[in-house]
Structure 1
């Protein structure tokens, strides 16, 4: 399983899939078992039990699916890939779906699938935290399982002369040529960040225009754009930049694992307002009833203490660095408290605008 830094690659070939399903993507990983390969060699369930096909881009999905099979006897075929290729498969299979459950970061993709009538509504029996409840869509077409935020501002404390307290600070001369961020056409978490920035700058009425104006000013102040989290972090480590805007799990993983030196001391702050970036599960509306029942059990397992344990131990320096949305489950010790001034953007509003916003970024900011 690749690290969080590399899991966020969103292949350029997915542009067609974005146009087809109007999605936000999240991660990259090399398939751990190959398309359709079993995620577990645990004994199959009762005679007649059909495998649950899980499409997922979560770094901890292998351990979670194995734990699910052990607990329930339900066999799982895990297709582990980046969100972009997975959504390309979902789009290609629209008339003959091969998946039973989709699990990725970013709810705008699921809002798009819901608008196309591809998701089966399901209300979990698990009570969620206030942050978790805010991520549940009105029609219950998908289920949030955890959250990160976008963006964390990671900076090199060995070089930084100032620490910003707002996005407006980044437009000042002290930050000229020192800021890096990811490319939203390649890094899935970056579009929700840009959408969240637009949302706080101008809301749904004027957010796109206000956000475009801000990004132009940031470019004029020497903004560097890198493909993904890993590239932005490499630029931070090698001194090309001093400040980076990336997903919270990647930033926390860097702070946790990167060697300190006289020239490199990574630290993280959260500028107002951080945008919630949930991991989300959706169930295929066209799947057989038996598969849908298995998928419901998977949702409940993921939100159970055993499922949360598997999530938190499955990728401890990557995707396990999330804030739980199940009461009584604590985040891993490396994580600070969830930023209190977070915002939740409307995926049904911002998701359909991903294509036009990414095109603006490609043509004007990069």
Structure 2
């Protein structure tokens, strides 16, 4: 995986050095940073004749750039790895509603903006990982259980400010209310095995190494280890079990990658076609087989390394509340001592 390039210069994919005026172009502003996405863009070009000009960056910086560019912004589509920045783009009036029978049929209602301004194109489940040799920690079945005193010094998780965690916290607020959510965050902070450090991978690597017993992490990171062919990563994958929380009630938390058509874009029809392509069977298969994300379309199976974790009930409604509650979620977490 490449490092993210913040506000990188535009890259014209599958195009010659000089772009002819008659060529059709889609300008994509994206906070995704995966080499496999290049294949997605090439597939879209092959299917529609629209070449993709890509600008990568942090989602909020890209949103600020679109706002600063105003009516002259070249952006046609904004793509982000979490619903929260997409909702901020909706609130800022940057994204336009997109009407599409294809998107309506292939993207479940809970995985798109109520007004159709953005649509999820892939999903990541935020789960609890444990050492299979020791088994599931006693009494652990729900996210709410993580606040129990039984797990003092046992939980590993990245910093509160990351969108994966603010999205999870948004789901807790939506399910239980702000007062209970803050008490939960205090309990989690009191149960940390160490101060938050690094991304998701160091959390479950620590559990595999015997530090702590519960890692909060996204499935696609561990699935990569299972398919990497690197002996040390395969060993970590083999040691760890995955618990999908809240299966008896609302389901496991899911974060989404999604995209929306920019209101000021000059290629709105190409933007709609791009969103439709992203939920097509070939693109959905690439999301799961190339980057180990769960597809959103019901006719596509997840990669075997993901499928090995088992089927689960997902709290898909959470995608619509993550943006609205993310700022409040971070405030609560920081106030509770989860830094």
TM over 0.5: yes
Which structure 2 residues correspond to residues 62-141 of structure 1 after superposition, within 5 A? 62-94=38-70, 96-126=72-102, 132-141=108-117
Task: Describe the SS at the equivalent of 2:301.
Answer: coil
- In 2, Cα distance between the equivalents of 1:221 and 1:310? 38
**Counterpart check, 1:55 vs 2:29:** yes
Q: TM-score, normalised by structure 1?
A: 0.77
Other structure's SS at 1:111 match: helix
Please name the residue that 1:8 is paired with: none
Q: Secondary structure at the match of 1:365?
A: coil
Q: Deviations over 1:211-243 (max 9, x none)?
A: 111111222233542342133234334433321
Q: Is the 8 A contact 1:196 1:275 kept in 2?
A: yes
1:273-284 pair list within 5 angstroms:
273-284=251-262
Q: Distance in 2 between matches of 1:80 and 1:195?
A: 26
Establish whether residue 232 from structure 1 lines up as the match of residue 203 from structure 2. yes
Is 2:15 aligned against 1:41? yes
Does residue 235 of structure 2 align to residue 260 of structure 1? yes
CA contact (8 A) 1:113 1:119 kept: yes
Please say which of residues 66-75 and 156-165 is displaced more in the overlay.
156-165
Where 2:12 maps in the other structure, the secondary structure is coil
Q: Could you give the per-residue CA deviations for residues 90-149 of structure 1, whole angstroms, max 9, x where no partner exists?
A: 344345423211112222322221122211111233266787222232321112222222
Query: CA 1:180 to 1:309, structure 2 compared with 1: closer, same or farther past 3 Å?
Result: same
State the partner residue of 1:199: 174
Q: Secondary structure at the match of 1:54?
A: strand
Asked if 1:221 corresponds to 2:221, the answer is: no
Contact (CA 8 Å) 2:127, 2:242: kept in 1 or not? yes
Aligned residues between the structures: 324
- For 1:1-366, what aligned pairs fall within 5 Å after superposition? 1-2=1-2, 29-31=3-5, 34-41=8-15, 48-58=22-32, 59=34, 60-94=36-70, 96-126=72-102, 132-149=108-125, 151-159=126-134, 162=137, 164-185=140-161, 187-200=162-175, 202=176, 207-222=177-192, 224=194, 225-257=196-228, 258-260=233-235, 265-272=239-246, 273-288=251-266, 291-313=267-289, 316=290, 320-336=291-307, 338-340=311-313, 342-345=315-318, 347=320, 350-363=322-335, 364-366=337-339
Runs of 4 or more above 6 Å deviation: 42-46
Distance verdict in 2 for CA 1:32–1:214, change over 3 Å: closer
SS of structure 2 residue aligned to 1:329: coil
**Structure 2 segments unaligned to the other structure (5+ residues):** none
Mapped to 2, the partners of 1:310 and 1:343 lie a distance apart of 21
Shift of residue 298, structure 1, vs aligned partner: 1.1
1:301–1:307 Cα contact (<8 Å) kept: yes
Q: CA deviation at 1:192?
A: 0.9
1:310-361 deviation per Cα after TM superposition (whole angstroms, max 9, x unaligned): 4344xx3xxx3222222322221222355225251263x5524423431332
Cα distance in 1, alignment partners of residues 304 and 50 from structure 2: 32
Question: Is the 1:42–1:66 contact (alpha carbons within 8 Å) kept by the matching residues of 2?
Answer: no
Please give the TM-score of this superposition, normalised by the length of structure 2. Answer: 0.82
Please state how far the C-alpha of 1:284 moved relative to its aligned partner: 0.7
